[in-house]
Amino acid sequence: MLEAARPPAPESERASSAVSSGARSARKKKRGLFHRTGIIPPAIGVAAVLVAIVYLVSYLSSSNGAGAASMFGAIDGLGHSGSVAALEQERMTIIEMDSAAQTLTVDAKPATASMVQQQTSQTQTEETGGTAVDAAPPPADPTAAEQDAKNMLSSYGWNDTTQWTCLYNLWERESGWNVYAENPYSGAYGIPQSLPADKMAMFGSDYLTNPVTQIKWGLYYINGTYGSPCNAWQNEVDYGYY
């Protein structure tokens, strides 16, 4: 059985239904827009706070309140100050090294001058009774010392040819025939390298400066210990001393 046809809804009812449907659609769109853009307002707020903090810090960091530009200038200046400090430190290091180099001394410097000056001063004091005055010792003369030694060989009955060669080699190695030669480690002194030096005083009180006095003692020692210069030289070659 066919249903009776429904009469059309009044115009006002259709309009009301359309308005209600449009309102619901608008609310949905607003809610969707809020969900999609809900992060923007908080982000804007955080950005505003950061800007305010940066401005405040830059203002307080500046000595004249000029803002961020002064702060950046101050930071840049710190780098330059660090460079200047490093250069200054390097300059002071160089100055200290130069000062230290000027105070260096040679460890192997002969100590003979002080011994000779001490004896010279003592002699002058005894002779004059006045204040001692340091005087430079006479220059060493190895050539003259060699000739004196060669002339003395015959006094011990030694051959002045063969024994002279051995004696020359011996004292050339020990002292270079230098009357002021002193071993900085042992204290051995003079042409024959007497140890200690005052052993030579038996032939004269001028044993520190007189080569003849030293040679006399040296030949006396060689004769009593080795019998001849060649025997003494052989001991020097074998053991490094005589």
**pLDDT for residue 135:** 61
pLDDT value for 14: 53
Total tally of structural domains belonging to the chain: 2
Neighbours of 169 (CB within 10 A): 15
In a domain, 9, yes or no: no
- Assigned domain for 85 exists: yes
Is the domain of 50 the same as that of 122?
A: no
Residue 174 lies in a domain: yes
Q: How many angstroms separate the Cα of 26 from the Cα of each of 29, 34, 85?
A: 5, 12, 70
Q: Give domain status of residue 164, yes or no.
A: yes
12, part of any domain: no
**Domain edge (last residue) among 51, 74, 102:** 102
Same-domain pairing of 120 and 88? no
pLDDT value of position 110: 40
- Looking at the fold, whether 44 and 76 belong to one and the same domain comes out as yes
Q: Which of 95, 228, 90 is CA-nearest to residue 170?
A: 228
Residue 3 lies in a domain: no
CA atoms within 13 A of residue 123's CA, in its CB half-sphere = 14
pLDDT (0 to 100) of residue 238: 97
Domain shared by 182 and 136, yes or no:
yes
Structure tokens at 154: 């015959």
Alpha carbon distance 235, 47 (integer Å) = 98
Phi, psi for 190 (deg, rounded to 5): 85, -175
Residue 15: the pLDDT is 46
Tokens at 137, concatenated: 């010792």
Torsion sign across C-alpha atoms 186, 238, 177, 201:
positive
Question: Low-confidence residues of the chain, pLDDT below 70?
Answer: 1-46, 50-51, 54-84, 86-87, 91, 97-135
The answer to whether residue 7 sits within a structural domain is: no
Residues 64 and 98 in one domain: yes
Whether residue 16 is contained in a domain is answered as no
Same domain, yes or no: 81 and 152: no
**Torsion on CA atoms 161, 167, 169, 171, rounded to nearest 10:** -150
Q: How many CB atoms lie within 10 A of CB 190?
A: 30
Q: Are 147 and 50 in a shared domain? A: no
Q: Are 220 and 233 in contact (CB under 8 A)?
A: no
Single residue among 55, 81, 102 that ends a domain in this structure: 102
Q: Which domain holds residue 148?
A: 113-239
